[in-house]
Amino acid sequence: MPEENRGTTPLPAPERTGRTGRTGRTGHTGYGPVFAVREFRAVFLAHALSLLGVVVSEIALTVLVYGLTGSPLLSALVFALGFLPYLVGGTLLSGVADRFPPRRVLVGCDLVCAGCAALMALPSTPVAALLVLRCVIAAVSPVFSGTRMATLTDILGDGDLFVLGRSLLRIVSQSAVLVGFGLGGVLLTVVSPRGALAVTLGTFLASALLLRLGTRRRPARTGDGALVRYSLSGTRQVLGDRRIRALLLLLWVPPMFVVAPEALAAAYADEAGVGTVWIGLLMCAMPVGTIAGELYAGAALSPAARSRIVLPLAGGGLLPLLLYPFHPGLGWILLVLVLAGAAGAYTLGLDRWFVDAVPEELRGRAMTVHTAGLMTIQGVGMALAGAAAEFWAVSTVVGGVGAVGTVCCVLLAAEVRRTGRARGGGGKGPVKGVEKGAEKGVEKGAEKRAHTEARDGADHDMTGR
């Protein structure tokens, strides 16, 4: 690809970008400036393709394993193994994100997943090998996601453009919940499960090609010594910093509690005496709310406004679940789930605080730990909710989750505020310090992108392509 096509597209001057929701002289709202960046478009499309591959592989493997064994337990393990290896990959392999050039890591992860999909599609692959290959994909996923998140700060800067870019990737992920399983089910009416896995192979290869041709070559951030020791050292640094730890917990804990209604949707529908159509509606309502909240916060709110809503939404986002024990009717329950999902918009402002708190040389490992922890803690939340529902009514469990989760989230929000005051940065709510930082967000992001492009150009001159 010609050199001029591999760089990022310069943004228009700040005063000419964004028609609404200005923040001082530099406020941007809306996703248009993000899509104006050529590299981000490649990352966005690659994310959609690789996510499609993961969703299709989960459905196909579930059907395939059940067809081969007739065991509900083994078929359910396909989904469980999508969560458990995240913790291993995110702690022992997090150093990969900083030790090696990011484009090489991203392409390599896609190729590993493509190789696993190819082996899965072979008729001779036994069930045990299928489950092991599923584990490999899950172990690679946090490294890929963490590297991609860190690379976004190189592509978009660490200001508001990064926040909006992360938001778009999350919206794609939530949309996959709504349409991915439906598309996978339709695909399986046309091809066999192993044929669907061959389709997955194609999506991973297409993602690798997009990342290889559509993003710049960048140098590794830092690191030497044994990989596992380097990874664990980074994890200790991330979790040992009070500010970073508080932000991570606020990113992790609300999702841990909010997954309970989705995990118990089938059981709640049975408790309410309704059919399978309502199960689908109960599972879709929260992703709909999440997408709507992200889109509104990203398109309509200024950076300062997104900072102001972080702590109120994080602390109070689970309160709607308190309605469950009162059995208000399924229509009201759907509204409750939409509202709980919409509260996830707090992550836009929190993403900005997190990337500001993490030193650049630690960024890849911190992002990988964040991804691994998020997936692991959601799996734990689902398991605990299911265990509790063995002893109490589902409505009581979800209401209890809302109460306990709200207490935990309020305490975490208070800790984030305290650490923000200690650092003199974000996390203090709608005060002058935060608003001033938000006003400078796009300028800081543009300066960061300019510095990154200069660094990338130097690296290209030294090493070639």
Residue 95: pLDDT band by 50, 70, 90 thresholds? Answer: confident
The alpha carbon of 340 is separated from its chain's Cα centroid by a whole number of angstroms, namely 17
Q: Residues 299, 32: contact at Cβ < 8 Å?
A: no
pLDDT for the residue 462: 28
Paired tokens of 367: 């992002």
Supply the pTM of this predicted model: 0.70
Instruction: Render pLDDT for 439-461 as a digit per residue (tens, 0 to 9).
Output: 444 444 444 444 444 334 333 33
Residue 180: pLDDT band by 50, 70, 90 thresholds? Answer: low
- Residue 442 CA to residue 163 CA, distance in Å, equals 10
Q: Residues 366, 247: contact at Cβ < 8 Å?
A: no
Task: Pick the closest to residue 347 from 235, 253, 442 (CA basis).
Answer: 253
Paired tokens of 432: 């002058």
Which three-class secondary structure state does DSSP give residue 329? coil
Instruction: Render pLDDT for 13-55 as a digit per residue (tens, 0 to 9).
Output: 333 333 333 333 344 467 888 888 999 999 999 988 888 877 7
315 contacts: CB under 8 Å, gap ≥ 6: 406, 409, 410, 413
- Residue 131 CA to residue 416 CA, distance in Å, equals 39
CA of 129: how far to CAs of 23, 87, 97, 133, 174, in Å? Answer: 54, 21, 27, 6, 29
Burial (Cβ within 10 Å: 0-12, 13-18, ≥19) of residue 167:
buried
pLDDT for the residue 310: 93
Paired tokens of 316: 């109070």
Paired tokens of 385: 């909710």
- Residue 64 CA to residue 175 CA, distance in Å, equals 25
- Residue 56 CA to residue 199 CA, distance in Å, equals 8
Instruction: Render pLDDT for 44-79 as a digit per residue (tens, 0 to 9).
Output: 999 888 888 777 777 788 788 878 888 766 766 676
- Residue 223 CA to residue 231 CA, distance in Å, equals 9
Helices (H), 215-241: 227-240
Region class of 135: left (phi > 0), else alpha (psi between -120 and 50), else beta: alpha
> What DSSP character marks residue 95?
T
Compute the mean pLDDT over every residue in the chain, rounded to the nearest whole number: 78
Q: Residues 158, 444: contact at Cβ < 8 Å?
A: yes
- Residue 288 CA to residue 391 CA, distance in Å, equals 30
The alpha carbon of 76 is separated from its chain's Cα centroid by a whole number of angstroms, namely 23
- Residue 409 CA to residue 253 CA, distance in Å, equals 7
Q: Residues 215, 39: contact at Cβ < 8 Å?
A: yes
Which three-class secondary structure state does DSSP give residue 272? helix
Residue 316: pLDDT band by 50, 70, 90 thresholds? Answer: very high
Q: Is the pLDDT of residue 414 over 80?
A: yes
Paired tokens of 205: 């290869």
